[in-house]
Amino acid sequence: MLQKPRGTRDFLPDEMEQRREIEMRLRKVARNWGYREICTPTFETQELYVLRSGEGIINEMYTFEDKGGRKLALR
């Protein structure tokens, strides 16, 4: 039997309803305080993270190369 990666879980429909309700409430509170939502990519260039955090971060990232040979990292 396949096992989910450690630290992950599935949320079934009933749980998702509760989660979405909480998310909506939190978003409303944030909007009321003037915050605006953003959405960023799931991955960025490895170089971006190295520039921000230094070379030491490389061993702590999940990285891969795209078809063009560019090094990318999951955020």
Burial environment of residue 49 by CB neighbours within 10 A (0 to 12, 13 to 18, 19 or more): buried
- Domains defined along the chain, listed by start: 13-74 (3.30.240)
Cβ atoms 12, 6 nearer than 8 A: no
How far apart CA 30 and CA 41 sit, in angstroms, is 21
Choose between 35 and 4: higher pLDDT: 35
Structure tokens that stand for 15 in this block? 């749980």
How far apart CA 53 and CA 46 sit, in angstroms, is 11
pLDDT recorded at residue 1: 87
Tens digit of pLDDT for each residue in 14-45? 999 999 999 999 999 999 999 999 999 999 99
Confidence band of 75 (pLDDT split at 50, 70, 90): confident
pTM over 0.75, yes/no: no
